[in-house]
Amino acid sequence: MYCHQCGAKCASEQKSCKSCGARLLTTDLQQAVIELAAGSGLSNAEVNPDSMNQKTELRKAKISVFHWLIPLLLAGVVGLGSLLFYQYEHSINQETLNLQLQAKEEALEGKYSNAVNLLKQAEEKRPNFAALTRDLELATKAAQLQTKLDKASAQLKTQKLNEGEKLLKQVQATIGKRKEPLFGHLQKELTANQDKLAVLRVKGELDKLSTVDELSDKLNKIKGLSGKEAVSVKAQIINKIVGLSYTSAEEKKRKKDFVGALNIVDNGLSYDSDNEKLTTYRNQIVEAKREFEEAEAERIQLAQQKAEEEDLNNRTAAVEVTDLKVMLDDYGDLSITGIVTNTATRPIYSVNIDLDIFSSSSGAYIGNAYADVSPFRLEPGESGQFSTSYYGVYEQAEISVTNVSWYLE
C-alpha cells in the first residue's frame, strides 16, 4: 500500500500512514483506483514491443509514473468518496431533522404519542444525537401526563371526583414546574379539568343549599370558570335563587310586608335582571302595595272618625241610667234608686247623678236630689247602683235625671 497523502509505502494491515498520519484507504478503494488508472490508459504506454530495452525502460517509467500518480489518483477518489459520504450524511441529517420538526408540530398540538413515535424513528437514524434524546424524554413525559389527564377526565365523567382530583393534583405538581412549549396543551387541558371538577363539586352541593346567600357564595366560586358544565351549573344556581326569592317574597307579601317582599325580589333580579317571573311578580307586589296603602289610609280615616265618635260618646254619653224607682214611705219621705251602666269604651269612675223631683198630681217642681254610684269605678259594660232620699214630700212624685257626671281613665 502507498499513502495517498505523501506516497510513502505502508503495510497492508496499517490503518494510518506512519509518515504523515493520514488514514489509509481500504483494499476495495485501492482496487477502484487501479481500475481508474487502467481506464485512463496510463497503464498501457505506447512502446515498440520488439525492443526489450524499451520494455524495460517503459516498465521503469510506468513504475515511476505510478508512484507519483497514486497519490494524485487516490486523492481524487478520496475526494469523490468524501463527497458521496457527505451527501449521504446530509441526507440522514435532513431526514432526522424533518422527523424532529414533525414531532414538534405533533407535540404542540397535543398529539404526544405521535411525537414519541416520530422521535424514535429519528433516534434510530441518529442514535447519539443529544437534542433528539432530550426531545424524546420530554415527549414521553408529556404522553404520560396526557394519559393521566385522560384517566382523570374519565373519572370526573363517572362522578369519581376524589380519584379524579388526586390525578389532577399529580399532573399539576409536574406541569407547574415545566416551562417548555409542548406542555402548553396539557396546561390548558388541566385547567379545563380543574374547572370541571370545581363545577361538579358545586353541582353536587346544590340540593343541600336552601338560602340565597349560600347559593350566591357557590355562584361566586364558579363565576370565572368557563365550559358547558360551568354555564349549566350557573344557570341552575340562578334558577334556584329565583325560586327561593319568589317563595320568600310571597311569604312577605301575605304578611303585608311589601317593602320586604320588594327587597327580596330586587335581590333576586340582581342575579337575573331579565327574569320574567320575578319581574311580573314585582309588578304584582307594587300593585298590591298601592291597594293596601289606599285601603289602609281609608281604614285609618275611619278609625280616626270612630275614635272621635267614641271619644265624644265617652265624654258625653258614657253611662246609661235604668231601673229608676221612687217610693213614698209612711213618713212622707221619698226613697230613690236606680242602676247606672258604663257604655263607654274606657273605664269610668266617680259617677254622680243629679235628680229633679216633680209632683205626680200637679207636676209641680218639688226639688232635686244628688246620688253617688257604687262601685266607684266601672269597667266598660259594668253596672253600678245608686240610692238617695228626699224628705217631707208627703205625696207621690216622679223623678227625672237631669245630669250625670263621670271621669274617664
* 47: pLDDT strictly greater than 50: no
Query: pLDDT higher for 367 or 31?
Result: 367
84: pLDDT confidence band, cut at 50, 70 and 90?
low
74: pLDDT confidence band, cut at 50, 70 and 90?
low
* 58: pLDDT strictly greater than 70: no
The strand pairing partners of 325, in sequence order, are: 337
Residue 234, helix vs strand vs coil: helix
* 187: pLDDT strictly greater than 50: yes
190: pLDDT confidence band, cut at 50, 70 and 90?
confident
* 278: pLDDT strictly greater than 50: yes
Is the backbone peptide bond immediately before 375 cis, with ω within 30 degrees of 0? yes
Q: Torsions phi, psi of 238, nearest 5?
A: -65, -40
- Beta strands across the sheet bearing 319-328: 319-328, 334-342, 383-390
What's the average model confidence in pLDDT over 316-345? 91
Give pLDDT, residue 61. Answer: 47
In angstroms, rounded to a whole number, what is the distance separating the alpha carbons of residues 287 and 268? 19
The grid coordinates listed for 369 are 236630689
* 2: pLDDT strictly greater than 70: no
Query: pLDDT higher for 271 or 91?
Result: 271
Ordered structural domains, the chain, with CATH: 1-46+61-108 (no CATH), 112-203 (no CATH), 239-289 (no CATH), 318-408 (2.60.40.10)
In angstroms, rounded to a whole number, what is the distance separating the alpha carbons of residues 384 and 375? 6
Give pLDDT, residue 242. Answer: 92
In angstroms, rounded to a whole number, what is the distance separating the alpha carbons of residues 326 and 144? 121
Give pLDDT, residue 330. Answer: 87
Count of other CB atoms within 10 angstroms of residue 30 = 18
For residue 386, give the amino acid letter: F
Catalogue the long-range contacts made by 30-36 (C-beta closer than 8 Å, 24 or more residues apart): 30/1, 30/74, 32/77, 33/70, 33/73, 33/74, 33/77, 36/73, 36/76, 36/77
The grid coordinates listed for 319 are 253611662
Give pLDDT, residue 403. Answer: 93
253: pLDDT confidence band, cut at 50, 70 and 90?
very high
Determine contact, residues 277/246, Cβ cutoff 8 Å. yes
In angstroms, rounded to a whole number, what is the distance separating the alpha carbons of residues 182 and 106? 9
* 221: pLDDT strictly greater than 90: no
Give pLDDT, residue 45. Answer: 39
User: Which residue has 380519584 as its cell numbers?
Assistant: 163
* 44: pLDDT strictly greater than 70: no
Give pLDDT, residue 39. Answer: 44
Q: What is the pLDDT of residues 144-163, one digit of tens each?
A: 888 988 888 898 888 888 88
Give pLDDT, residue 29. Answer: 55
For residue 373, give the amino acid letter: V
What's the average model confidence in pLDDT over 189-196? 83
Give pLDDT, residue 325. Answer: 92
pTM: 0.47
What's the average model confidence in pLDDT over 28-35? 51
In angstroms, rounded to a whole number, what is the distance separating the alpha carbons of residues 391 and 389? 7
What's the average model confidence in pLDDT over 298-322? 87
What's the average model confidence in pLDDT over 347-353? 93
In angstroms, rounded to a whole number, what is the distance separating the alpha carbons of residues 387 and 53? 197
* 199: pLDDT strictly greater than 50: yes
CA–CA–CA angle 152, 156, 157 (5° rounding): 120
Give pLDDT, residue 27. Answer: 58
Share of the chain above pLDDT 70, in %: 81
Q: What is the pLDDT of residues 106-153, one digit of tens each?
A: 888 888 888 889 888 888 877 878 888 888 888 898 888 889 888 888
Give pLDDT, residue 227. Answer: 77
In angstroms, rounded to a whole number, what is the distance separating the alpha carbons of residues 97 and 268? 62
CA 19 to chain centre: 82
CA–CA–CA angle 344, 347, 353 (5° rounding): 70
End-to-end C-alpha distance for the chain, whole angstroms: 148
Query: pLDDT higher for 403 or 78?
Result: 403
**Mean pLDDT estimate for the chain:** 81
Closest CA to 341 of 359, 365, 361, 317: 317
In angstroms, rounded to a whole number, what is the distance separating the alpha carbons of residues 231 and 268? 18
Residue 30, helix vs strand vs coil: helix
273-292 b/e with 16+ CB inside 10 Å = b? eebeebeebbeebeeebeee
Share of the chain above pLDDT 90, in %: 31
List of residues 6+ apart from 26 with CB closer than 8 A: none
Closest CA to 125 of 104, 101, 99, 102: 99
The grid coordinates listed for 361 are 198630681
The grid coordinates listed for 23 are 488514514
Positions of E strands within 202-333? 319-328
